[in-house]
Structure 1
């Protein structure tokens, strides 16, 4: 009876581990501030989606790691840093108690008068991207020049520039400049490969294979424990 109880307990633990791993695979870990560049004294809000209550906003500022307090009242954790300063610039991410991390986001806080609005997360190939140049004090009739990797790529009388059907060649460091006002810091635009259509069948097959392998492992563990129990008697 004692061996049977041990077998049952170990089998139950295997099932619990299986359930936990599936839950972690399906979780979505994101940090989404509305842009990557901010003026000093603005408030920056982070959303950690799909994380458990033990998740935290973490980051590295000036080579020093830190942990921010989050509002854990909902499945979407809201983290805020009020009245940011240039020293708050750095890399931020969400992390679970188990050590699983979200994508990281590099934000820049500037003392200047110009920031560039660009995508926070990587953009999928084929999508359109709009870059916006913002003046700290003026919101309309902005004449701006846009640069990629230090080279002028266009100008606009509206303060906006669109990139249609982005590709990997559009990746790079972007900034904008407003005459007689200043220029923004640089932000990295990342483009990801279009894979969803080609991945659908192969990814489904991989998922089925992983599930079958897990079930096979559970069955083999059960049979092994059962054999040990019979040998004991």
Structure 2
């Protein structure tokens, strides 16, 4: 049976809770879920203590689990650089040690669509400000965009950016933006409370809301 990305997320989360806090963290630069094709992205394993044996691994939407340097990415120490992203680079990523320890998981979407939503890939802490940006590949003069959460309209912004000045748990969910040039994919924004003992919440094991019609 082929394991889906959601299955892997749940499996890794259960293992993480059972084993306690992971010594490793996966950092994505730039800090966002969505990328146009041919953009660059850096995936870094930040590890407490000995970094030997840690690698960035990926479970794609279709295919087998692979690690950086096998058929994708350039391995530099415990860091992985993808110089020119393609749609096949979409998937769930995390850091994993030779002994089986693993970091948080992140879901990256690479699209050939003309519009993406710049939304943080790492959890946003309650009370902090966050800005979501609707970005067109060609930077048109009209930046007006509509923002949606869980399929419901939030508001229109003439600047193409929507700021939430102090996020709370109710702001967690699936977001997308709609521009005159097209719609972005859906991405999940994760919101956590400001206590280190609280586990990271995960996207629901159901499909995201359907994309809006162009």
TM-score (norm 2): 0.73
Give the corresponding residue for 1:67.
67
Give the CA deviation at 1:141. 4.2
Listed as ranges, the gaps of 5+ residues in structure 1 are 1-23, 200-233
CA shift, 1:25, in A, is 6.5
Higher share in helix: 1
CA-based RMSD of the aligned residues comes to 2.0
Check whether the contact 2:55–2:79 (CA below 8 A) recurs between aligned residues: no
Which whole-Å deviations, capped at 9, do the CAs of 1:145-192 have from their partners, x for residues lacking one? 11101111011111100112111111100011111x001001100111
Distance 1:26 1:40, change over 3 A: closer
Work out which of the two has the higher radius of gyration on C-alpha atoms and give 1 or 2: 1
Judge conservation of contact 1:140–1:158 (CA < 8 Å) in 2: no
Q: State the shift of 1:102 in Å.
A: 0.9
Give the whole-Å Cα distance in 1 for the aligned partners of 2:76 and 2:25: 16
Aligned to 1:36: 33
Gaps of 5+ in 2: 1-19, 70-74, 198-214
In the other structure, the counterpart of 1:124 is 125
Total equivalences in the alignment? 169
Structure 2 CA distance, aligned partners of 1:142 and 1:114?
Answer: 11
The structure with the greater share of residues assigned to strand is 2
- Give the 3 Å change call, closer, same or farther, for CA 127–36 of structure 1 in structure 2: same
- CA distance, structure 1, for counterparts of residue 191 and residue 63 of structure 2: 27
Hey, what does 2:7 align to over in structure 1? none
Maintained 8 Å contact 2:28/2:41: no
Counterpart residue number, 1:193:
193
Structure 1 Cα separation of the partners of residues 190 and 133 of structure 2: 16
Do 2:22 and 2:101's aligned partners in 1 also have CA atoms closer than 8 Å?
no
2:47 maps to what in 1?
Answer: 50
Shift of 1:31: 2.6
Quote how far apart the aligned CAs of 1:193 are. Answer: 1.8
Q: Deviations over 1:48-93 (max 9, x none)?
A: 1126131101011124211113211xxxx32112322112211001
Q: CA separation in 2, counterparts of 1:148 and 1:195?
A: 26
Runs of 4+, deviation exceeding 3 Å: 24-28
Answer whether contact 1:172 1:190 (CA < 8 A) is retained: yes
